[in-house]
Amino acid sequence: MTRETTTRGDAEAMAISALGFIASEPELLSRFLAITGIEASAIRRAASEPGFLAGVMQFIVAHEPTLLRFAEASGTPPGAVLAAQRALPQGDDSYEAST
């Protein structure tokens, strides 16, 4: 899956899957909460904020062992995870809010 073929809907679905992956791993969840400053009880509310799903994906791709674990667990090539991150609003600097 390349950036050109990764739809925003596909990217959002992968980010939601990644959030579930993070939540299922206590060590990852603890690190995610510490890095983002979000309280566990506020994740649902935060998920509706612009850029939250991109932040989830950025958390996954920022640490190669986490990226590889998620890729293996989800059956997704690491490059597709990176493409999904870039397809989300605020997933990279070139995203245009008008698309």
Per-residue pLDDT reduced to its tens digit, 15-63? 999 999 999 999 999 999 999 899 988 988 888 887 899 999 999 999 9
Q: State how far the Cα of 84 lies from the Cα of 17, in Å rounded to an integer.
A: 12
Does 38 fall in a domain? yes
Q: Which domain holds residue 42?
A: 8-87
Q: Does the residue 55 lie in any domain? A: yes
**d(Cα 71, Cα 95) in Å, to the nearest integer?**
23
User: Per the domain annotation, does 95 fall within a domain?
Assistant: no
Please say whether the beta carbons of 18 and 60 come within 8 A: yes
Q: How far apart are CA 92 and CA 54, in angstroms?
A: 8
Domain membership flag for residue 93: no
In a domain, 2, yes or no: no
Residue 94 lies in a domain: no
Residue 60 belongs to a domain? yes
Q: How many domains does the chain have?
A: 1
Question: By mean pLDDT, which of 3-7, 14-18, 65-69, 70-74 is the weakest?
Answer: 3-7
Please state, rounded to an integer, the average pLDDT across all residues of the chain.
87
Does residue 71 belong to any structural domain of this protein? Answer: yes
pTM: 0.83
40 within 8 A of 54, measured Cβ to Cβ: no
